[in-house]
């Protein structure tokens, strides 16, 4: 099985990190390839960045499709352009927000999300509501760090994320925490140990869910909204 | 006041039609300009087209912003990239789906929507739910016509739309119908007469709502999710 | 175009203030007339007052209808008797709560409401839910002032409203604030300046939305719940 | 215990019928008195009638309060002015829609409602949603009869109601039916026998729920929205 | 009329207390019998306990059915196995959570719930949502006491419950409080006096609602999900 | 990795079938064991059967836990006692309804469910709503067959299921179908071919999701509602 994990922003170090997480999670025999949406913004912080990344992301999806990828993971917590990716792809396409919160809902009655910037909070709140899990989501929280701070060696970003998780435990009574940015992927284990709560990394879970759907023989439905784009 | 109405697809005849509707609706003293998202798909029929149009749409929003537009209407019923447009724009940005259904909810207790292709139905259903009006929306219906059929002289598209509205009245007990495509804009009056139900054209209503918000002194909030995009 | 703005309580100074706001907002060529629901309570603070005002309000709607008003604004944030007004009226009828929150939802991803007395909070919460915007409403807040304190020169009511808006910004992370009482209409500009957040006055917005619907050629649907009352 | 059942319309024969149902349902020792909202419309068919009845209804509530009624039933399926009644009353106030559907939800997983005129359907749909039971309500149906047809000896109204219930069973897969008009109260037993489904009369159930709340020592909460009206 | 009140745990002192509340509430002529689910856990604190109690509870329901009980109250706030009880029983079966919150919603616009252990909070939140009353429930709170602490003479459990109610009033702006455990039944009056808010005991209210439904001639619907279990 | 798949009813042939599906789906290196809830009803058709099966199911969960199972699948579409299973288990516990519909929502914008008996429809509707996916579920349908008909060689059960799926495609415009009974597991491939729509088997998907969660290093959260049962 071939799985393509696409970082929809153009920061290579994030792609590397994401790919590492995906490969660590992948089952034996699953070939995981990482792709960077070259030309996209360096990070996705809001709706505008999402749009400016989307066409580049789709190009990578088309490339993955051309290379017969069995499944695709879109590794940005805003789940950008997921519907469009699903129209192009034959196999399943999984966004890390959808994967993260659906996984959380299978191991806990409630969860909070910790993301980077405050401006992403309403974006994620809308996603959670769209996926139907707002009744299990205690709160979407921001650690008040830019996405790229997660890439800077020596920044205190990881401490800020940990502190926000501890506040989530204290104030939200949540039973799990979902990391609200692909760039936090490498912190998952450390954060789990530091906080004592299940900490869920969307990249890891999306990788496994992609494997799961492929393993179950499922492909994206092509009889409705996710049919191949109409030619003009 | 200067209002820019953007057709997010690249079909000039649709822009002309949309502009005509917007100008017919605009108050005296409102300058309405029409823009075409050159480079976008010829029509927006699903998520993929939406993404492929979005960056071109944003370019037009930026241009409008540079020209000090007071408000912007995005004239496609999928309300593509509205959040991103709002991040860029200073003034209000109105999508025709949001405008159409919010207008409907002010003059009727329920409405149905008639769009073009079946594949757009789930896209619009999700929009309606996102805007919180699913409890007033009886049904999203498709007239089973491609968007561009509305541009072909002599096609039976208008008859199919009318017939679908008549079915909506009969089967849904709706009190108003919202036209689910900017390309139906020129049919509004004819359809109202033919069907005897309030028929709501999103282009017209979005034009008026844009004027209304500007007239009320309101601009897009810049303290949260719609703040200017972060520079990288 | 003729727009009638009805104050459903019997306090003339409120009518004057409301009329001033509406006239300031109205487009050239729109004749705005103000009406007071003589016989109604001096202020509407809860369900009982709402009922005691409603028949007087309807009498003014009927009068407006007799005088061929093109649209009607009901200037109380509880949106009293809106359904009944719509049954009587030919043109659109807009309540200031519905107008205020729907406007807010077009320029911000979330908003809070600041009203007068605590007892109005649940009334407004129910309205917001009825209009389907509870997912965008962060909180309904009370400044803990009686409605008529807003009419007393020298009262500290405006300071209390401002302070509550500042708390909303701090605690709710809202992106806009809707003023939850028609009597706050004259404070809008001052509050916007003081708080730096879009402050939305329902009277102003309802006036503009009424113009918008009339300008779009829309009237209240008469084929369902808003049909003329049955004669007995 | 003293229970006052108020017919919010002015048709005495409906009051008599309602009172008969309430008395038949009441426990030994409960004194049930019937009141007619003289001055109100002869029937309540829509929002306007509701408003025109409301002040007359409140006058009867005040009278009941003056006579130390322990509880009040408002016998119209639109639950008119319930919030206002609760502000005035010390004891519980029960509307027959709320009572009917909450009873239905205790004996069945789903129910449909059969009311009189089509125009009341959206009014009741909104009520059901307000009470939070839309997920258990299969459909609100109309038997297409004016309210007062239920008062005419020899009309075929009862047959039409029965036929609509049979359609509800067939088409909705509902497990119970709630009668959507106080004027159907006397048909309950006959309809149950004819249709073989639990048929719920709001008047009967509201009477019993009023007894229940009084028996449980509960009164209307006076610390929030249902506090006594503010004096002006 | 014969009413059987079943304590689904095996603690006899709780049954005694519950029975006392039910008998105090019951109307003249209603025979109330108490049953203990011998073999069940000593208290129900979470999903596991609920399951381990359920079959024992059903055995008591069957026994009650064999003895021609007219109605059944299940006296645990998790409303365990209510659907199953309704399949077996001919008459109405009422759980105390459903009864408590539906009663609260008839006398107040909002309520909070105070239960025993934190682990029961999500269980009750899900119940409240299932019953459709999440929009009226301000918060589900825990007094942080094990269920059986309520049975220990001299424990400070009642003080802790009172303090939590006072916090609910202060922080939640709720208009009523529902006691979230059958074992708090005997504290109702004391808590009402101490806190000045309507305090609702599910046992009392369920007893009265059971009487009410029987008095209204209603039985559990047998044409759908609550039909008698299929024989195998 | 060791996965235990539990059939919560006592029909061995169903366990065999379920185990076959799970093993066919499982990745290399995953040991799948099947367990039958001996003592449970022969099939689960409604709430009563669910309760009568639950304690037997929990016994098997405890046994699996004792044998250090890494994850557990509960193979009945009513997801019986899932919360209780999660309290006992250390690893993830997946019900086939939750797995089936969450998988469906990742490959399609909407789905319908086809179950066995009509009485299971409301049970599943409630589950779907509890999981938050009611907005994506077009309809829960019954093929009108007893569960055990699926075990009878030569019965026409499979044809009836296929016909119901075809009706779902025709009438619901769904983009995928979820099989609403573990006993349909062996029909998945045949039904997919016959109907041309993605047909989702909960057993298969739950198996893969269990693997996925284990592979992602996730266990059931033990800090809230799913903590180990309290000892008494």
Note the ipTM here: 0.97
Predicted confidence (pLDDT) per residue in A109-160, tens digit = 999 999 999 999 999 999 999 999 999 999 999 999 998 999 898 899 999 9
Q: What is the pLDDT along chain B (232 residues), one digit of tens a residue?
A: 999 999 999 999 999 999 999 999 999 999 999 999 999 999 999 999 999 999 999 999 999 999 999 999 999 999 999 999 999 999 999 999 999 999 999 999 999 999 999 999 999 999 999 999 999 999 999 999 998 999 898 899 999 999 999 999 999 999 999 999 999 999 999 999 999 999 999 999 999 999 999 999 999 999 999 999 999 8
- E10-43 exposure pattern, b = at least 16 Cβ within 10 A, e = fewer: bbeebbebbbebbbbbbbeebebebbbbeebbbb
Task: Select from A28, A94, A187, A215 the residue whose CB has the most chain F CBs within 10 Å, as the one to mutate to test that interface.
Answer: A215
Q: Residue C232 above 90 pLDDT?
A: no
Instruction: Choose which CATH entry (3.40.50.2300, 1.20.1340.10, 3.40.50.12500, 3.40.605.10) describes domain D97-201.
Output: 3.40.50.12500
Residue F137 distance to chain D (closest CA, Å):
13
Query: Of A122, A129, A134, which is closest to C110 when you measure between CB atoms?
Result: A122
Q: Do the chains contact at C135 and A129, CB–CB below 8 Å? A: yes
Chain A residues with CB-CB distance to E124 below 8 A: none
What chains are in contact with C, requiring at least 3 Cβ pairs below 8 Å?
A, B, D, E
Contacts of F175 in chain B (CB under 8 A): 122
**Cβ separation of B110 and D122 shorter than 8 Å?**
yes
Give pLDDT, residue A220.
Answer: 98
Q: What pairing do the DSSP bridges indicate for beta strands D93-95 and D111-115? A: unpaired
* Cβ pairs bridging B and F (under 8 Å): 8
Backbone φ, ψ for residue B117 (5° rounding):
-90, 150
CATH 3.40.50.12500 correct for A2-95+205-215: yes
C-E C-beta contacts closer than 8 Å:
8
For chain D, percent of residues with pLDDT exceeding 70? 100
| Residues A121 and A87: beta-carbon distance below 8 Å | no
The reply to whether F185 touches chain A by the CB within 8 Å rule is no
Q: How far is CA F211 from the centre of its chain?
A: 15
Helix axis angle, F96-107 to A96-107, nearest 10°: 170
pLDDT per residue as tens digits for the range F19-68 = 999 999 999 999 999 999 999 999 999 999 999 999 999 999 999 999 99
Residue A57 in tokens: 């992301």
Q: Is B219 on the interface with A (CB under 8 A)?
A: no
| Number of other CB atoms surrounding residue B21 within 10 Å | 24
Nearest CA in chain E to A108: E122
Question: Could you tell me which of D135, D140, D113 has the C-alpha nearest to residue F137?
Answer: D135
- The pLDDT of residue F187 is 96
The pLDDT value given to residue C59: 98
At F137, is the pLDDT very low, low, confident or very high (cuts 50, 70, 90)? very high
C-alpha–C-alpha distance, residues A152 and A158, integer Å? 10
Number of residue pairs across B and C with CB atoms under 8 Å?
Answer: 155
Percentage of chain F surpassing pLDDT 70?
100
Of E79, E77, E71, E88, which is closest to residue E4 (Cα–Cα)? E71
DSSP E116-169: SSTTHHHHHHHHHHHTT-TTTEEEEEE----GGGGGSTT-SHHHHHHHHHHHHH
Residue D122 distance to chain B (closest CA, Å): 7
Say yes or no for a CB contact (<8 Å) between C173 and A126: no
Query: Using the beta-carbon criterion (under 8 Å), do C204 and B198 form an inter-chain contact?
Result: no
- The DSSP secondary structure of C86-112, one letter per residue, reads HHH-SS-EEEHHHHHHHHHHHH-S-EE
Average pLDDT, chain E: 97
Query: Dihedral of the CA atoms C92, C95, C99, C101 (nearest 10)?
Result: -150
The pLDDT of residue F200 is above 90: yes
**Short-list B187, B48, B14, B72, CA closest to B123:** B48
Beta pairing partners, A113: A140, A178
Give B217's contacts in chain C (Cβ within 8 Å). Answer: 189, 204
A-contacting residues of E 97-156, CB under 8 Å?
A: 118, 121-122, 126, 129, 134
CA D178 vs CA C127, D107, D148, D187: distances in Å: 26, 12, 19, 12
Q: What is the structure's pLDDT at A153?
A: 86
pLDDT digit string, tens, across residues B136-161: 999 999 999 998 999 898 899 999 99
pLDDT band for E12, please (50, 70, 90 cuts): very high
List the single residue in F42, F58, F226 with the smallest CB-CB distance to E232.
Answer: F42
Q: What is the DSSP string of E23-83?
A: HHHSPTT-EEEEEE-TTS-SS--SHHHHHHHHHHHHHHHHHHHHTT-SEEEE--TT-TTHH
Judge contact between F86 and E47, C-beta under 8 A.
yes
Mean pLDDT across F143-153 = 91
**Dist CA B73 CA B5 (whole Å):** 5
68-97 in chain D: CB under 8 A from chain C: 81, 83-84, 86-88
Q: What is the pLDDT of residues E32-69, one digit of tens each?
A: 999 999 999 999 999 999 999 999 999 999 999 999 99
Give the architecture (CATH level 2) of C97-202.
Answer: 3-Layer(aba) Sandwich (3.40)
Q: Which chains are within 8 Å of D by 3+ CB pairs?
A: B, C, E, F
Inter-chain contact F135–B129, Cβ cutoff 8 Å?
yes
Taking each helix axis from N to C end, the angle separating C96-107 and B202-215, rounded to the nearest 10 degrees, works out to: 100
F13, pLDDT greater than 90: yes
**Contacts D175 to F, Cβ<8 Å:** 122
Q: Please, how many CA atoms are within 13 Å of residue A13, restricted to the half-sphere of its CB?
A: 12
Taking only the tens place, the pLDDT of each residue in F54-98 is: 999 999 999 999 999 999 999 999 999 999 999 999 999 999 999
The answer to whether the CB of E184 falls within 8 A of the CB of E21 is: no
DSSP D177: E
Q: From CA F161, how far away is CA F116, in angstroms rounded?
A: 8
Residues of chain C with CATH 3.40.50.12500: 2-95+205-215, 97-202
Q: Which of A135, A201, A226 sits opposite F175 (nearest CB)?
A: A226
Q: Over the range A124-135, which residues count as b (16 or more CB within 10 Å of their CB) and which as e?
A: bbbbbbbbbbbb
| Percent helix, strand and coil across chain C, each to the nearest 5 | 50, 15, 35
- E65: Cβ–Cβ under 8 A, 6 or more apart, which residues? E88, E89, E90
Q: Where are the alpha helices (DSSP H) in C26-69?
A: 47-66
Q: Does E3 touch chain D (CB under 8 A)?
A: no
Closest Cα in chain E to A138: E122
CATH 3.40.50.12500 location in chain B: 2-95+205-215, 97-201
Q: Which residues of chain A have pLDDT under 70?
A: none
Residue F154 has pLDDT above 90, yes or no: no
Has residue C178 got a pLDDT over 90?
Answer: yes
Contact F44, F11 (CB under 8 A): no
pLDDT band at residue F161 using 50, 70 and 90 as cut-offs: very high
Check CB contact under 8 Å for A135 and E122: no
Closest CA to A189 of A73, A25, A75, A33: A25
Mutate to test the interface with B, among A42, A43, A48 (most CBs of B within 10 A): A48
d(CA B45, CA E199): 56
Section E170-182 average pLDDT: 97
Q: With beta carbons less than 8 A apart as the criterion, state whether E65 and E90 touch.
A: yes
End-to-end CA distance of chain F: 33
């Amino acid at each position: 099985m071939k799985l393509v994990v696409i970082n929809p922003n153009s920061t290579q170090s994030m792609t590397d990190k994401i790919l590492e997480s995906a490969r660590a999670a992948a089952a034996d025999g699953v070939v995981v390839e990482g792709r960077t949406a070259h030309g996209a913004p360096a990070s996705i912080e809001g709706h505008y960045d999402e749009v400016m990344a989307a066409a580049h992301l789709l190009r990578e999806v088309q490339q993955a499709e051309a290379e017969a990828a069995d499944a695709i993971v879109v590794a940005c917590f805003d789940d950008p352009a997921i519907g469009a990716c699903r129209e192009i792809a034959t196999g399943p396409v999984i966004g890390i927000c959808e994967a993260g919160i659906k996984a959380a809902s299978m191991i806990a009655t409630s969860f909070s999300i910790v993301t980077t910037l405050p401006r992403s909070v309403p974006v994620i709140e809308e996603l959670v509501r769209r996926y139907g899990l707002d009744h299990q989501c205690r709160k979407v929280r921001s650690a008040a760090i830019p996405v790229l701070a997660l890439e800077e060696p020596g920044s205190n970003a990881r401490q800020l994320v940990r502190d926000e998780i501890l506040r989530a435990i204290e104030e939200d009574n949540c039973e799990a925490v979902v990391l609200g940015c692909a760039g936090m992927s490498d912190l998952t284990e450390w954060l789990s140990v530091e906080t004592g709560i299940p900490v869920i990394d969307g990249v890891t879970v999306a990788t496994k869910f992609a494997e799961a759907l492929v393993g179950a023989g499922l492909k994206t439905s092509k009889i409705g909204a996710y049919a191949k784009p109409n030619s003009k």
